[in-house]
Structure 1
């Protein structure tokens, strides 16, 4: 393990938990298999990766990731009003219902019903964790140089 610290060119194995300000756990590997990623491979948001830079094996910390370094700020333009007639009448509308949409490139895009009435449905396409501070609890298990074969 040695003196290697997290940075570009490293493979990191860690346990992590993502928590909200109220302590609610959004995701966690504690109690299960640890996660492994190569710095810069896109498996971890860049702001979360940068927060780990300089840490060593055995480090345990809770870092607060601000929205601009995590899931972004909420964008009011990501809330769309869609005519109720465009939805299958069999869908039982409720606030918080997650629905799947296809964008212009036919990529799946999740949206959450924020409100609805007889004529329109407001869909929020913001990431559910956008605009929130995330408490990123980490335990670094191992750091290794990335090897290419």
Structure 2
């Protein structure tokens, strides 16, 4: 299957490095030497990320620069929430820049970034940490197979 080209239903094993415009690393599968596995169309990547991968094959290495709209979107004001300090454990030392998991009504958790702590008010940003950023996406395709789904 090594001649498989990434298509709409491909299962892809890849290494990737995600960098910001200034060259700082945002994410990388190489750090833990654990490649990412994804099934095209499963929603784990935005359609624009997936479009970058279409047509690549095993062994390919490619770099893409994505503007915010094609990557993690622009920060949305409705994703900024103001919470009362009493909603947090009293022994928790909340600091700006911390990323915390917040339970949703359905039981799932989403990360929120503490943007400010002022008196009893805590500002939490639920936008993706890379929202509003231009990202450079370096990929190395390790294997491609057709999804059995």
| TM-score using structure 2 length | 0.83
2:119 matched residue in structure 1: 118
Name the residue aligned to 1:19.
Answer: 19
Aligned length: 147
Equivalence for 2:132: 131
The one-character-per-residue Cα deviations of 1:27-80 (angstroms, maximum 9, x if unpaired) are 222362433322223343332111111223332111012222222210111111
Q: Secondary structure at the match of 2:49?
A: helix
> Do residues 62 (structure 1) and 74 (structure 2) align?
no
SS at match of 2:43: coil
Structure 1 stretches of 5 or more lacking a match?
none
Deviates more, 1:120-129 or 1:94-103: 94-103
Q: Distance in 2 between matches of 1:40 and 1:50?
A: 10
Could you tell me which residue of structure 2 aligns to residue 6 of structure 1?
A: 6
Residues 88-128 of structure 1 show CA distances to partners (whole Å, capped at 9, x for unaligned) of 22221211122232233343232121111113111111111
Larger deviation: 119-128 or 38-47?
38-47
Change (3 A) 1:80 1:9: closer
What corresponds to 1:73 in structure 2?
74
Highest Rg: 1 or 2? 1
Write the distance in 1 (CA, Å) between the matches of 2:144 and 2:88.
49
Give, in angstroms, the shift of residue 17 of structure 1: 1.0
**Distance (Å, rounded) in 1 between the aligned partners of 2:34 and 2:79:** 35
Residue 85 of structure 1 aligns to a residue whose secondary structure is: helix
Aligned residues: CA RMSD: 2.1
Q: Which runs of 5+ in 2 are unaligned?
A: none
Aligned to 2:54: 53
Q: Distance in 2 between matches of 1:56 and 1:109?
A: 33
TM-score by length of 1: 0.83
